[in-house]
Structure 1
């Protein structure tokens, strides 16, 4: 297989605060290069949500309000995240949800 012909590819996951609609608390992106995950260039960002993290969400992803209290608001990191994601193709386990949450913010 000729991986050089592949477009830039990222495996992306987001975590939310458990509200509906959810606020972002984490975005993680793992580049795929030459057909393999590139852990050396992976990135993750934590962000303080506008509304508190629910107890259910904390049980799912382990991030609490205390963990996020000193993290930047989304507006402070949005540019970094968008730059990293660029025009890459994105693979996500729940892409429609991840896309909706990212688009909302």
Structure 2
């Protein structure tokens, strides 16, 4: 698979809003896409921020000092993280925030900044829906995506939800249908790779026997034997 076809939907949780003011990463969640389709491969890690958790941040994600105390520090997880994302395009909601924290953490462990291509879904949503709210919850509501599990922010869960939102932003179910057709064209097995989840479409309403009879009577009255299909009924 060509690297250009690989994307990583990514989200982070932090102790606050600014790494330059001492805030740190506490969680990273990543979801792999190949040709815009989730592969089932994820990367998820909690991180000991080596500082206290402000109450404001705790109310957002629910990650306490006690919970994070025995988790690895960033220096211990950076290699696995870099290996997982590789040179894939990163899909991030409000990318400057997450990229700012990731690059700050990399700088503190004397690693180079990320150079991956980045797609900011906030910008993508603003281009597609000018003037509309573009928060993750608002986009879920707009596209009918179930986010009921999102009682608190969580990096992996938010990445999974963002993957669905991203698919809708770039074309929705048409993308999955095109990929399915491509697979048939090149002889791939029907279940050779995971498909993007598609929401069931409502079935058309069924007519009752009385409604069908009334319709037939109406046609008989209006057209009699002039209806062309009566020539083929026998």
TM-score by length of 2: 0.41
The answer for the alignment partner of 2:127 in structure 1 is none
CA contact (8 A) 1:19 1:53 kept: no
In structure 1, distance between residues paired with 2:3 and 2:43: 24
Q: Deviations over 1:9-41 (max 9, x none)?
A: 010001101263220000100011232223x21
In structure 2, distance between residues paired with 1:5 and 1:13: 21
The answer for the alignment partner of 1:99 in structure 2 is 99
Alignment of structure 1 residues 73-84 onto 2, 5 Å = 73-84=73-84
CA contact (8 A) 1:9 1:90 kept: yes
Task: State the shift of 1:67 in Å.
Answer: 1.0
In structure 2, distance between residues paired with 1:5 and 1:76: 26
Task: Answer 1 or 2: which has greater strand percent.
Answer: 1
The answer for the alignment partner of 2:211 in structure 1 is none
Task: Answer 1 or 2: which has greater helix percent.
Answer: 2
In structure 1, distance between residues paired with 2:5 and 2:74: 28
Task: State the shift of 1:51 in Å.
Answer: 1.6
Task: State the shift of 1:6 in Å.
Answer: 4.9
In structure 2, distance between residues paired with 1:85 and 1:64: 27
The answer for the alignment partner of 2:182 in structure 1 is none
Secondary structure of the corresponding residue to residue 90 of structure 1: strand
Secondary structure of the corresponding residue to residue 41 of structure 1: strand
In structure 2, distance between residues paired with 1:90 and 1:47: 20
Q: Deviations over 1:48-105 (max 9, x none)?
A: 0022111111110111111101001111111111111110100110111100100001
In structure 1, distance between residues paired with 2:4 and 2:72: 34
In structure 1, distance between residues paired with 2:50 and 2:71: 12
TM-score by length of 1: 0.87
Higher RCO, 1 vs 2 (CA within 8 Å, ≥6 residues apart)? 1
Q: Figure out how many residues of one structure are paired with residues of the other and give that number.
A: 101
Larger Rg: 2
